[in-house]
Structure 1
Amino acid sequence: MPPLTNQPSDRVVPETNAGFSAITAESALSEALNVLRKRKWVLIIAAILGILYGVYQAATQPIVYVATGRIQVAKPNGQASLGVATGNLTGSLQSEDLETEVLIISSESLMLSVAQEMNLANNPDFMGSGPYRNINDPIVRAAVIGKLSNAFKVASIPRTQMIRITVTANKAQLAADLVNHLINAYQQRSFESRFASTQRVSQWLQGQLDDLKQQVEASQEQLMDLQKKIGVLGLGADASKPVTTQVTAAVEALSTAAIAAKVQRILAESRYRVLASSDPALMESNLQASGAGQESELSKLRDDAAQTKAQIAQSSVSLGPKNPQILALQAHLREVDREIKTEETRMVTEAKQALVAAQANEAQTEGALEDQKNQSYRLRDDLVEYTLRQRDYETNRALYEALLAKLRSASVQAGLDALEIDVVDPAFKPIGPTMTPRSSILSRDLILSLVFGIMLAFALESLDTGIRSVSEVEHITQLPSLSIIPRVRRMQSDGSGSATVAQTNIGVLATSKSQFSEAFRSLRTALLLATTGHPPKFILITSSTPSEGKTTVSTNLAAILAQRETRVLLIDADLRRPNVHHRFGLNGRVGLSTVLSGGATLEEAVKNVPEVPNLDVLCSGPVPPFPTEMLSSESMKNLLQECGELYTHVVIDSPPILSVTDAVILAHYADAIVMVVRHGKSSRNVVRRARDLMVRSGAPVTGVVLNSVDINAPEYHGYYGYSGYSYSNIDSESWESNGRENERNNKGGQA
């Protein structure tokens, strides 16, 4: 046999991530039905309570009377009657408007109005007998309005303009009166609300009219002041045209005069410059060349001087220079020359004075033109302000007149704008009381109780962390389910009292034709086929926590394996809480701890089971002080090698995985590891933690055994049953209880 530290080459470690990832799960509907079947007592109790409560409600329901009234509500047609165009002349209300009216009818203000009108606070049929109640008291008012609101039910009738008003009361006449008074209060409120709204609008309009009146008067006064300032008569739109025409004509006349003065100044300046800069002898010719002058006195004097000079020249030849006639001519010439000079001086002075006068005329004319222009500009600004104030005055006056007309027609319009409320069906006194049928009450309460029961069943299922199905344990551990060990209800006995301790505690020895035995045969087949090449020799049975049935599985599996032509050894490796020797009724003084400590050999410690000749049991022996060190020792390795040579299969019952590390140590010696999970007891998180611990340690976990399963549960319905064929039942729980009793009986004999 090869060393146990080296795993066999043909050993197959199950793939935890991919091997069983495609497990077929039940549909959501079938799972829900399984939950309901499993929690059927919750549904039954809920249904019984619902029926009882329905019977109580049907027996104690009060006698009430129901009265109903119907009204039709339409839009006002007042605008149409005044000739004002509207978008909707038919008077129909939209659905939103109708729902608004429903809320108005159900409002506390209308309820208070009905309560005050009918004095419901002191009505014994409504509030019951008692002392006088004041409706103005907030507590009394709240109580009356609350009870009245609960009594009324107001709703619009679909696809119509009608509203149904229903009330429930203790008296028939009171029910009818409540509906009719509410309809009357609603009609009165419709008129009063429109009138009050119109009054508020009228008051606001009156305040606006007073303000507009003051604005019109102020605008008119400002307009009249401007008229006086600019000289405008009247208030018409063309009142300012004469002033504008007069100012425009004055500006045009002054502009023409300014141009003429400028031309005159240019001519005078030209004459003066010609006279001032010319040679005196050429002054007259320059004036004629420039066109600045005409024939003047200077020309005449120059002609006279020329003639005198000619006469002197002629006379000097014939008369001589001293001739008196010549002297007279010379004196005349001198006088003419003096007059010429005088005339030249006069002409220059006269041209200069004409220039000064033309300049002064030009300056005065241009000054007058500028003054007239500035006056025109000021007049233009005044006219613009006048136009604006005139427009403001006209606008204020038109708005004032329009608001005044609205105010005068507001009182008439108030009545025309009220809603048209037509009482289609007034409420009449009910003939008899209205009571809910008992069948309806029972059906309603039964349905509600069943719904609550279903919710409670699923809540309890979600809070239950125990593993209860094969698919659930395979999904959590990602390991295959090797077998399902049933929990049968009754123990079959032959009545002779000759059954041994082993037959009492080991279920597969009590009967071979039970569901319990078949489950272990299935487990045996699954383990023999779990490894490739040869069946597993060392089989380790463990669990996550104590009390999950690993000892029951290991003892019954060993007995089933020994029923074949093989030799099987069952080792009780739980050195802390041994229990195997109690199941077989053996003495546990000598066992595994004795062999490992060297106190006995394997042949001396092994005990044969008479009921199963091929089965030997190695009990745990005395509890050692250090079990973990003993199981991980070299002696344990050698012992298992020796057992492997002598036996076909070695079944090891180990401690729980999460309690101590013994199971992890023993897992390295095993060819196949079986995790036992107790149905309904093992927690999901605990099982997942144990599985992760074994996988991370490299242990060859073969699969999971779901133990103590109620095969009559909904999720296992028909799992073992076949039509016309079944096994007898043996209570495995009684086997375990008998085993514990034998343990107590044999406790005194243990070393």
Structure 2
Amino acid sequence: MGPQSAQTPSHTGGASETTPPAFSTATTDTTLSETLITLRKRKRILLVFVLLGLIYGIYRAETQPRIYEAFGRIQVRSGSSNEFRVSAVPGMASDSGQRMLTEVAILQSDSLMLSVAREMDLANNPDFLGGNAPSTRASIDDPDVRQRTIHQLLGGLRIAQVQKTELIRISFQSLSPKLASDIVNKIISAYIQRSYETRFSSSQKVSTWLSGQLDDLKQQVQASQEQMLDVQRRLGILGFDPNHSQITASLEQLSTASNDAHIVRIMAESRYRMLSGMDPNTIEGSLEASGAAPSQLNALRAQLATARATLAQMESDLGPNHPQAKAQKAQIAALSTEINTEQQRLVLQAKENFLAARTNQEETAAALEKEKSDAYKLRDDLVEYTIRQREFESSRHLYESLLERLRTAGIEAGLESLEIDVVDPALLPATPTLKPKSTVVLTYLFMGLVAGVMLSFLLESLDTGLRSVAEVESIIELPSLAIIPRFRRSTAEVPGQSTTARNIISLAQPKSQFAEAFRSLRTALLLSSAGHPPKYILLTSATPSEGKTTASTNLATILAQGDARVLLIDADLRRPTVHQRFGLTSKIGLSTLLAGATTLEAAIQKIPEVPNLDVLVSGPMPPFPTEMLSSEAMRQLLDHAGEIYTHIVIDSPPVLSVTDAVLLARQADAVVLVIRHGKSNKHVVRRARDLLLRSGAPVTGILLNAVDVSSPDYYGYYGYSGYSSAGADAETWQSRTDSRSTGDSGEVKR
């Protein structure tokens, strides 16, 4: 393909390498300026709703009915019956604020309204019904009539508590001043009557209930008293005092005696066991140590010792067989026998004392247990007596209390009606109550404005069209290359003007905003790739009728106004329109060239108005357009054209309609997605962008077409409308292109 092959990476399978990075915008927050832009965009809706609110407000101000309002005041106070009030639980009286709210709710109750409507026959009152008397007499007992009458009565009624007081203000609005005052007075009267009847009935119910309770309590008091007397009889005393009971004193004495007997038994047992188990020679010493009564044992032992000493002297002096010695031995034997007898007597005496002490302890403990049993039985009787006495006192106290309250219930029933006082009865109002006309008009004017604003933002949220650069960039995530303003061609034909000059606006009006916008597009495209401007430029759209043919013809014309040679190819083989814009024949074109019936040089057509612009029209419609555009012949055609021309602009079919644009986009250096302002759907455009990016097409950016530059969204974009560049001639443009300048008077703001 020559030296240009490096500039067509799509031809070598590298189209994805030149794909620009994903573009995103951070301007997504709703700001005050965006809100004002939305309101300016929907200014017609705002004006319509404001005008409707103004007209309706004037109508309501002029036709508002002459309504009379009568009011009265009543005082709802605690009353003198509070000190006699029957209250099941003392201290449970309701708070004053809650009580007043309750009374206000009672004044608005359906039952009270029904009684007022029934007594005043409001269902058949023409003044109450707005001057329209029923043809047949209506009955308030009819559910529909009752509901309608009560609803209408509550609609004109206003009841409110006067703050920080016990006063309630009752007012009613009606077309008749007399009816308004009569209804207020009747409501007050019915409320007082209801209050008296309700409280009297309540007190009567309490009295009836108390009378039944008193009969039961009286029987309980009598039964409790009889049970208490039975216990007193069983105790055998009246007015029993447990602090001075004989049984209690005996119990204390027996307890002391039992303790003493226990100690004596322990001491006797200890003495017995000591004497029975010790050495007989030491018994006398143990008795003295224990403090027992002295015995003859020591004296006998002294005599025995003396006798033995005497015997020893005699035996040494007289001999053992001397009669005196033998007599002394007999005396010693007698003393030994007497000592043994005395020892046995002491042990036997200790044992007898021990047995006696033990018997005494046992008998004393038995007596104590018996006394305790009697005391326990007495305690049980005393407990039962106390319980019966308390039951009797409680029943008697409750009976006396209820009897006293029963006597006060009748008095309270007569005092309750005094709690409600009429402070101000309702009088006939002198003048009707009318709202200021200015207030009515301003109210409905404001309501119309609010409704218009709400509808404007609702329509804005439901609008799926792409209408602003910021919205397009944030949703499509691609940069905007240029904004093409809406242009209406004049239907009047200028004599001698060619078809090209008439259809190509950039030729017909080179100093217009339309032409300047395409110069901005030209600048953006030529500076979109670093190192070299794009050679193959493809323009497509998501759906038909978005202006891609207009964009491609005008872009090719602007590119050809310099020294660059430009070829415009109409690749829309299904609905071609390029030849119509230039007034060319379509007998020979792209289809015949791809079919091999002609050559490129024979198929191209010159444009006299733009010498550097050649056009390759679509030619006859082929049976298989997609196969022809994806063929090897198409690739060779583009390679051959790239060697001849500086730029090749391709007008392709819509992306979502057929696959032709996706196939051609892979062979382009720059793909421009044309979006028609207010027509393109954001979801459809996003789908087209995704198809192009997934196919590896080098999507350079978007072109927003047919923009109303007077719209608030684009205020300031074409602020230079009074100034048009006259220096965008071929020489100046060529010099700027060669120097790769980044400045252009029509460059789009990103």
Tell whether the structures are fold-level matches, with TM greater than 0.5.
yes
**Structure 1 residue 252: Cα displacement:** 6.2
Percent same amino acid among aligned pairs?
Answer: 56
SS of the counterpart of 2:443?
helix
* Cα distance in 2 between the residues matched to 1:175 and 1:220: 66
Q: Report 1:84-123 matches (<5 A).
A: 94-123=96-125
* Cα distance in 2 between the residues matched to 1:442 and 1:264: 119
Which letter does structure 1 place at the counterpart of 2:525?
A: L
* Cα distance in 2 between the residues matched to 1:70 and 1:727: 82
Which letter does structure 2 place at the counterpart of 1:526?
A: A
Match of 1:146 among 134, 140, 151: 151
Match of 1:374 in 2: 373
Match of 1:712 among 680, 686, 710: 710
- Contact kept, 8 Å, 2:513 with 2:721, in 1: the verdict is no
Match of 1:556 in 2: 554
* Residues 198-255 of structure 1: CA deviation (Å, up to 9, x unaligned): 3343344334333332222221111111112121225xxxx2449x723335556777
Match of 2:690 in 1: 692
Match of 1:537 among 535, 538, 543: 535
Match of 2:452 in 1: 453
Match of 1:67 among 65, 70, 86: 70
Match of 2:39 among 22, 26, 36: 36
* Cα distance in 1 between the residues matched to 2:497 and 2:597: 34
RMSD: 4.4
Q: Report 1:613-628 matches (<5 A).
A: 613-628=611-626
Name the CA shift for 1:162/1:575 in 2 (closer, same or farther; >3 Å).
Answer: same
SS of the counterpart of 1:617?
strand
Match of 1:600 among 598, 601, 614: 598
* Cα distance in 2 between the residues matched to 1:666 and 1:259: 128
**Structure 1 residue 550: Cα displacement:** 0.7
* Cα distance in 2 between the residues matched to 1:662 and 1:37: 40
**Structure 1 residue 548: Cα displacement:** 0.9
- Contact kept, 8 Å, 2:84 with 2:412, in 1: the verdict is no
Match of 2:236 in 1: 231
**Structure 1 residue 584: Cα displacement:** 1.1
Which letter does structure 1 place at the counterpart of 2:462?
A: L
* Residues 562-601 of structure 1: CA deviation (Å, up to 9, x unaligned): 1112211001112222221121111112111222221111
Match of 1:205 in 2: 210
Match of 1:221 in 2: 226
**2:5 maps to 1:6:** no
Q: Report 1:484-563 matches (<5 A).
A: 484-489=483-488, 491=490, 493=492, 496-563=494-561
SS of the counterpart of 2:490?
coil
**Structure 1 residue 691: Cα displacement:** 1.3
SS of the counterpart of 2:127?
helix
SS of the counterpart of 2:159?
strand
Match of 1:245 in 2: 245
* Residues 117-138 of structure 1: CA deviation (Å, up to 9, x unaligned): 3333443432435444443444
* Cα distance in 1 between the residues matched to 2:134 and 2:596: 99
**Structure 1 residue 542: Cα displacement:** 0.9
* Residues 437-459 of structure 1: CA deviation (Å, up to 9, x unaligned): 54444333333233222222222
How many residue pairs match? The answer is 650
**Structure 1 residue 70: Cα displacement:** 2.7
**Structure 1 residue 182: Cα displacement:** 1.6
SS of the counterpart of 2:245?
helix
Name the CA shift for 1:361/1:725 in 2 (closer, same or farther; >3 Å).
Answer: closer
**Structure 1 residue 662: Cα displacement:** 2.0
Name the CA shift for 1:492/1:510 in 2 (closer, same or farther; >3 Å).
Answer: farther
**Structure 1 residue 551: Cα displacement:** 0.8
Q: Report 1:425-504 matches (<5 A).
A: 425-489=424-488, 491=490, 493=492, 496-504=494-502
**Structure 1 residue 265: Cα displacement:** 12
Name the CA shift for 1:487/1:363 in 2 (closer, same or farther; >3 Å).
Answer: closer
**Structure 1 residue 485: Cα displacement:** 1.0
* Residues 403-429 of structure 1: CA deviation (Å, up to 9, x unaligned): 322332233345666784443432211
Of 147-156 and 626-635, more deviation after overlay is shown by: 626-635
* Residues 173-218 of structure 1: CA deviation (Å, up to 9, x unaligned): 1111111222223333344444334334334433433333222222
Name the CA shift for 1:198/1:577 in 2 (closer, same or farther; >3 Å).
Answer: same
* Cα distance in 2 between the residues matched to 1:572 and 1:723: 32
Name the CA shift for 1:664/1:433 in 2 (closer, same or farther; >3 Å).
Answer: same
Structure 2, unaligned stretches of length 5 or more?
Answer: 270-291, 296-353, 727-750
* Cα distance in 1 between the residues matched to 2:472 and 2:264: 129
Which letter does structure 2 place at the counterpart of 1:474?
A: E
**Structure 1 residue 50: Cα displacement:** 3.3
* Residues 658-701 of structure 1: CA deviation (Å, up to 9, x unaligned): 22222222222222111100111111111111112222222221
Structure 1, unaligned stretches of length 5 or more?
Answer: 270-290, 295-354, 729-751
* Cα distance in 2 between the residues matched to 1:487 and 1:436: 51
Match of 2:50 in 1: 47
* Cα distance in 1 between the residues matched to 2:100 and 2:487: 69
- Contact kept, 8 Å, 1:591 with 1:622, in 2: the verdict is yes
Match of 2:25 in 1: 21
Name the CA shift for 1:539/1:132 in 2 (closer, same or farther; >3 Å).
Answer: closer
* Cα distance in 2 between the residues matched to 1:363 and 1:524: 135
Match of 2:192 among 187, 194, 205: 187
* Cα distance in 1 between the residues matched to 2:44 and 2:450: 14
**Structure 1 residue 534: Cα displacement:** 2.4
Match of 1:702 in 2: 700
Which letter does structure 1 place at the counterpart of 2:117?
A: A
Name the CA shift for 1:705/1:218 in 2 (closer, same or farther; >3 Å).
Answer: same
* Residues 378-425 of structure 1: CA deviation (Å, up to 9, x unaligned): 222111111122122222222222232233223334566678444343
Which letter does structure 1 place at the counterpart of 2:217?
A: L
* Cα distance in 2 between the residues matched to 1:175 and 1:360: 110
* Cα distance in 1 between the residues matched to 2:264 and 2:633: 152
* Cα distance in 1 between the residues matched to 2:360 and 2:455: 120
- Contact kept, 8 Å, 2:76 with 2:166, in 1: the verdict is yes
Which letter does structure 1 place at the counterpart of 2:110?
A: E
* Cα distance in 1 between the residues matched to 2:260 and 2:491: 153
- Contact kept, 8 Å, 2:20 with 2:699, in 1: the verdict is no
- Contact kept, 8 Å, 2:28 with 2:474, in 1: the verdict is no
Name the CA shift for 1:93/1:726 in 2 (closer, same or farther; >3 Å).
Answer: farther
**Structure 1 residue 78: Cα displacement:** 5.0
Name the CA shift for 1:490/1:54 in 2 (closer, same or farther; >3 Å).
Answer: farther
SS of the counterpart of 1:659?
coil
| TM-score calculated relative to the size of structure 2 | 0.76
Name the CA shift for 1:109/1:11 in 2 (closer, same or farther; >3 Å).
Answer: closer
* Cα distance in 1 between the residues matched to 2:198 and 2:48: 57
Of 696-705 and 252-261, more deviation after overlay is shown by: 252-261
* Cα distance in 1 between the residues matched to 2:257 and 2:590: 150
**Structure 1 residue 141: Cα displacement:** 2.8
Name the CA shift for 1:563/1:380 in 2 (closer, same or farther; >3 Å).
Answer: same
- Contact kept, 8 Å, 2:569 with 2:617, in 1: the verdict is yes
Match of 2:385 in 1: 386
* Residues 488-540 of structure 1: CA deviation (Å, up to 9, x unaligned): 346275x5432222222221122212221111111111112212222221111
* Cα distance in 1 between the residues matched to 2:521 and 2:97: 72
SS of the counterpart of 2:573?
coil
Name the CA shift for 1:258/1:610 in 2 (closer, same or farther; >3 Å).
Answer: closer
- Contact kept, 8 Å, 2:4 with 2:643, in 1: the verdict is no
SS of the counterpart of 2:128?
helix
* Residues 270-300 of structure 1: CA deviation (Å, up to 9, x unaligned): xxxxxxxxxxxxxxxxxxxxx99x9xxxxxx
Q: Report 1:165-314 matches (<5 A).
A: 165-234=170-239, 239-241=240-242, 245-249=245-249, 251=251
Name the CA shift for 1:360/1:654 in 2 (closer, same or farther; >3 Å).
Answer: closer
